[in-house]
Amino acid sequence: MSETKRILVADDADAVTTVITTALEINGFDVTATDNGNHALELATTEHFDLAIIDQLMSGMLGIDVLKRLRLEGNQLPVIILSGVDGADIVVDSFQSGASDFIRKPFRLPELLARMEKHLSTAAAKTST
Amino acid sequence: MIFEIVRWVGYFILGYFIVMQLYMAFLAAYSALILRRNHHLARFDRGDDMLASHQSPPVSIVIPAYNEAEGIVDSVRSMSIVAYPKIEIVITNDGSKDNTLQLLIDAFDLERVRIPYRPDIETEPIRGIYRTNHPIQITVIDKENGGRADALNAGINVARYPYALCTDADVILDPRCLVYAMKRITEDRERTIGVGGNVRPLNGSRVELGHLIDPDVPKQLIPRMQILEYLRTFVASRPAWSELGALPLVSGAFGIWKRSAVIGIGGFTAGHLGEDMDLTIRMHRHHIDREIPYRIVYEPRAVIWTEVPSDRKVLRGQRIRWHRGLMQAISDHAGITFNPRYGKLGLVTWAGMFLFEFLAPIIEFVGWIIIPYAAFVGALNIQVMVAMLVLSYGVGLVNSGVSLLLDESFGFHNSWRDTRRLVFASLIENFGYRQLTVIWRIRAIVGGRSTQGWGTMTRKGVTKLGADAA
Amino acid sequence: MTAIEATYAAVVVVLVLGFSLLAGVIGLKWAHRRRVQAHNKRRRSYLRLLSAHLVSPTPTLTLDDRQFEDDAFIDAVIDIRNTVAGDSAVVLKDLIDGRGLINLQAARLRSPFPLGRRLRAVVSLAEIGDQAAGRVLMQHLSDREPEVRIHSARGLARMRYLPAIEPMLERMRYESPLVRSKFGDALIAFGTEASWPMVGFVRVHQHDDDTTGLPEIIRAIGRIGEREVGPALSELLHELENVEICLAIIESLGSIGGPRSLRPLRKTFCSDDWRIRAKAASAMGEIGDPSVNPILFQALGDSSWWTRRNSAGALAVLPGGINWLYDGLISHDEFARDAAAEALADCGELSAAKLRFDSGEGGPRDLRLIRYMDRPGLVFS
């Protein structure tokens, strides 16, 4: 666990990316942020990340679509879907599409960090076995 | 005597250009006021409240499709994920000769169903209805060919939600366009019967799998000129029209209509070349004649992207078709032009359509002959003539400039390169491009019935979605 | 000066004017871009500062007055408030408290213009305010600017400022439809504590000549979903002639649910008005109690298309309702058969029947549904 974990953050509101980026960097992660769904997909497919936090509503491509495309390509990157909108459909849809987790905005920073740690360690456990 | 006539006709035409530009300037200035206000409001409103609210009225997206095999599946897929709480998609396969229907059936696992079909509006015979419900309801109506208007009518018959977004199979919807447009409906659900959207040329932008990635201004001049035209229309005119309460056109590429209102006036006119303008004007007339309060508005933030013709021949066909549609509408609705009974619609916006859209090519064409002749025989004072031409050119430049300035708040074409390209286009469009459009429109007028068929044959001459436009 | 010279002068003036206006436009564009970029840059740096402050275990950030007056700072604070919740929000509030931010923004809100600044003020008060801000926002529930009223209501609901409920309800009677619907959303955000005042308000005003706002209030009651108010709402149903209000109550009873909501709904099913019957059918489906299945089954033969459709749709989601729909397929009433068939197709039963049939497990009723759908021609009803 010596190397720094790489996290992808995608949200078209720069407030969200900035807050998450700053918070994660302070906690020792290496963060790449983007405001565009297509760019997020491109990054996720071309570079290595340990986890992605993707907002549902973005210009370019919706978060859930990014997730679906990733899974179609067989990419098992853990993805946390963020959404500012409440609704049973989107939660169910996220999990059915293979999201690791779903977090509503506004979110609690410690909670986000805790959930991230959990998914990172699960993923690490999976790869090591 | 003839000398005098030539002289005054010459001055009249020169004056006409100036008046036309001043009219555009008035609309641009008025639009500026509205967009400035909207800009402030938009800072704290991204439409999330509409997404979260149970009061957002559900919308049926109605798409007519004729030989759309190439892009239809991507297009429907991208429309199905537009951000909105409750939508359904209704596609009408208007007797396509290609495999549009089969592609849709395969891609979305559609099943042939036998459901009650209520022909609220008469259409060509329906062959069958196909449907799926996962993840959202998609219904495909397979019918005999009857043209775009007929296909829209069939879609509206099957649509089950109170509002229908009438659009095209080859446009790209901005993810938030429905949220913004429907907000205008919640403003006044009782009275609002129509909402138009902001149509933008897609050429030059990067498109992947039905998503717009990077809006850009293309290098080619023909689409670049059209971007300028679209900006002048959708950014610097329609907000004013809408605010005056007299929007003469809700574009066919994005128009939300109250379903019951469309049925109430018998739907789109089958076979009409400008069925969108025709429907808009008939809506106005229906409600004004019966003194029913109503509202038809334009929402600049409801952005959709469409590919415009990039070669001259296709553009020529499109413009001839548009002008024929306009002519048909002008003659069908001659009763409202300059009619004070129709308020600002009759006196300002439809009058503007008549004077500055319908008559413009005729007057300009006559001007090309009369003015040089008049100058040659000395009927016109050359200095005055040049001054008047320069004045109309100058005001025209300012209008284009104002459109570019207003476009800044949308954030699509804000790079220096885009600005440079558009400013260059606005400087040169009066030399060549404008004359071409005049000739095409004259062609539409003199073409008689021989150009009639183009409306159905090349309903849209645009190439397919996702094709590299740059 | 001769006439010719004068005209030359005019031409030059016009040309210069045209180009300089175009240049001016470009200049304005440039200035605007510069301002927006600078603002965003400052906002982002504030965002970073504030975020770092939020996650650090020992918050140490101090800010000077100049920053508090900066619009970019306010925007950053609003953005953060919309992003993070919980302890972070408290930390943020501690940082801002006592710096006169509320007073500053309240003063900006009170001044009649400019609109952009007033909006920023009301949003900041709504997002970061405490009870003191609540008092200010209360005054602006009747602001001349609709957006200010909406943000005030939203903010008051967000901070659970209970004294605002009554004035908001009162405003609902005079508001434009947009503001009414947004006030309705805000009232929902108050939660159960708003339920009874709302029911009381509806009770007092139900017989007014002008019932503007009441349907929105009733729908908000339904969305909050407090079970206890169900009977009180259904009581209103008995004596009402206003269809709009009846429809709103029926819808709300559907979302509130429970056996005590079901009883009045059964009664409305005898209404002469098809809108009421159709709405009641949907509401019964939402409640989810299968005891209404026979009633809905009968309604498949209703004279109204919407009632048939909604009844079939309700059966499709009720426990055991699918069987009733299959029974509907052999009804002697053609309209009932069509309604049942459409609902079966819409709830995925058609695909399921096909699957069963293909795997050899299909029964006669699966075959019946498949055949029904395969029949050529359409039904015009």
pLDDT one-digit tens code per residue, B98-145: 999 999 999 988 988 888 788 889 888 888 899 988 778 899 999 999
- Confidence category of residue B63, pLDDT binned at 50, 70, 90: very high
Pairwise CB contact (< 8 Å): A26 & C76: no
Over residues C57-95, the pLDDT tens digits come to: 776 677 777 777 788 888 888 888 878 877 777 777 777
Which of C11, C123, C375 shows the shortest C-beta gap to B386? Answer: C11
Over residues B365-382, the pLDDT tens digits come to: 888 888 888 888 888 777
Q: Which of C25, C118, C216, C309 to mutate to test the interface with B (most CBs of B within 10 A)?
A: C25
Which of A26, A106, A111 shows the shortest C-beta gap to C83? Answer: A106
Q: Which residue has the tokens 């509320």?
A: C102
Query: What is the reported pLDDT for B60?
Result: 95
Percent of chain B whose predicted confidence (pLDDT) is above 70: 95
Percent of chain B whose predicted confidence (pLDDT) is above 90: 39
Percent of chain A whose predicted confidence (pLDDT) is above 70: 92
Q: Are B188 and B295 in contact (CB under 8 A)?
A: yes
pLDDT beyond 80 at B346: yes
pLDDT beyond 70 at B204: yes
Q: Which residue has the tokens 């079966």?
A: C344
CA dist., res. B281 & res. B274, Å (int): 11
Interface of C with A in 71-110 (CB under 8 A): 76, 79-89
Interior/surface letters B139-155, b for 16+ CB within 10 angstroms, e for the rest? bbbbbeebbbbbbbbbb
Any residues with CB less than 8 A from the CB of C343 and at least 6 apart, and which?
A: C309, C312, C313, C315, C316, C325
pLDDT beyond 80 at C265: yes
Q: What are phi and psi of A34, to 5 degrees?
A: -145, 160
pLDDT beyond 90 at C12: no
Query: What is the reported pLDDT for C381?
Result: 44
Over residues A34-70, the pLDDT tens digits come to: 888 888 888 888 888 899 998 887 766 778 888 888 8
- Confidence category of residue B209, pLDDT binned at 50, 70, 90: low
Query: What is the reported pLDDT for B180?
Result: 92
- Confidence category of residue A2, pLDDT binned at 50, 70, 90: very low
Query: What is the reported pLDDT for B458?
Result: 38
Query: Minimal CA–CA distance to C244: which of C200, C211, C220?
Result: C211
- Averaging pLDDT over each range in B90-99, B426-435, C254-263, C367-376, which range is the top one? B90-99
Task: Provide, as residue numbers in chain C, all residues whose Cβ is less than 8 Å from the Cβ of A26.
Answer: 52, 55-56
C185: closest CA of chain B, how far (Å) = 7
Q: Which residue has the tokens 């495999």?
A: B99
B369: closest CA of chain A, how far (Å) = 50
Any residues with CB less than 8 A from the CB of C14 and at least 6 apart, and which?
A: B387, B390, B391, B394
For chain B, the average pLDDT equals 86
CA dist., res. A94 & res. A86, Å (int): 12
Does B53 touch chain A if contact means CB atoms closer than 8 Å?
Answer: no
In B294-393 the beta strands, taken as DSSP E runs, fall at 295-306
CA dist., res. C125 & res. C149, Å (int): 12
CA dist., res. C310 & res. C319, Å (int): 16
- How many CA atoms lie less than 13 Å away from B210 in the CB half-sphere? 19
Percent of chain A whose predicted confidence (pLDDT) is above 90: 2
Concatenate the DSSP letters of all residues of B175-188 into one string: TTHHHHHHHHHHHT
pLDDT beyond 90 at B249: yes
**Planar angle of CA C256, C276, C288, nearest 5 degrees:** 35
- Confidence category of residue B192, pLDDT binned at 50, 70, 90: very high
Which of C14, C32, C375 shows the shortest C-beta gap to B387? Answer: C14
CA dist., res. C286 & res. C263, Å (int): 14
pLDDT beyond 60 at B307: yes
Which of A60, A86, A93 shows the shortest C-beta gap to B211? Answer: A60
Task: Provide, as residue numbers in chain B, all residues whose Cβ is less than 8 Å from the Cβ of C33.
Answer: 408, 414
B127: closest CA of chain C, how far (Å) = 7
Q: Are C260 and C294 in contact (CB under 8 A)?
A: no
Query: What is the reported pLDDT for B279?
Result: 95
Over residues A7-21, the pLDDT tens digits come to: 999 888 888 888 889
Does A122 touch chain C if contact means CB atoms closer than 8 Å?
Answer: no
For chain C, the average pLDDT equals 83
pLDDT beyond 70 at C379: no
Pairwise CB contact (< 8 Å): A19 & C84: yes
Within B44-169, where are the H helices? 48-52, 72-80, 100-108, 147-158
Query: What is the reported pLDDT for B102?
Result: 93
Query: What is the reported pLDDT for B426?
Result: 86
CA dist., res. B166 & res. B196, Å (int): 10
Query: What is the reported pLDDT for C99?
Result: 67
Over residues B24-37, the pLDDT tens digits come to: 989 999 999 999 88
Pairwise CB contact (< 8 Å): A27 & C55: yes
- Confidence category of residue B450, pLDDT binned at 50, 70, 90: very low
Over residues C213-228, the pLDDT tens digits come to: 888 888 888 888 888 8
- Confidence category of residue B457, pLDDT binned at 50, 70, 90: very low
Query: What is the reported pLDDT for C87?
Result: 75
CA dist., res. A21 & res. A43, Å (int): 16
In C92-237 the beta strands, taken as DSSP E runs, fall at none
Query: What is the reported pLDDT for A86?
Result: 63
Within C56-100, where are the H helices? 65-68, 71-83, 87-96
Q: Give the DSSP letter of residue B218.
A: -
Interface of B with C in 106-125 (CB under 8 A): 109, 111-119
Q: Residue B443 to residues B215, B316, B437, B455: CA-CA distances in angstroms? A: 33, 9, 10, 15
For chain A, the average pLDDT equals 83
For chain B, the chains sharing at least 3 beta-carbon pairs closer than 8 angstroms are A, C
- How many CA atoms lie less than 13 Å away from B305 in the CB half-sphere? 28
Type of residue at C302: D
Who wins on pLDDT, B161 or B216? Answer: B161
Over residues B440-449, the pLDDT tens digits come to: 999 888 875 4
pLDDT beyond 80 at A129: no
pLDDT beyond 60 at B171: yes
Query: What is the reported pLDDT for B462?
Result: 34
**Model ipTM over 0.95:** no
Which of C32, C123, C379 shows the shortest C-beta gap to B116? Answer: C379
B321: closest CA of chain C, how far (Å) = 33
pLDDT beyond 90 at B241: yes
Q: Give the DSSP letter of residue B227.
A: H
Instruction: Give the 3-state secondary structure of residue B173.
Output: strand
For chain C, the chains sharing at least 3 beta-carbon pairs closer than 8 angstroms are A, B
Question: Among all residues of chain B, which has the CA nearest to that of A96?
Answer: B135
For chain A, the chains sharing at least 3 beta-carbon pairs closer than 8 angstroms are B, C
Pairwise CB contact (< 8 Å): B81 & A58: no
Task: Provide, as residue numbers in chain A, all residues whose Cβ is less than 8 Å from the Cβ of C85.
Answer: 106-108
Query: What is the reported pLDDT for C212?
Result: 84
Over residues A97-117, the pLDDT tens digits come to: 888 888 888 888 888 888 988
Does A12 touch chain B if contact means CB atoms closer than 8 Å?
Answer: no
Q: Are B162 and B57 in contact (CB under 8 A)?
A: yes
- Lowest mean pLDDT across B152-166, B261-275, C198-212: C198-212
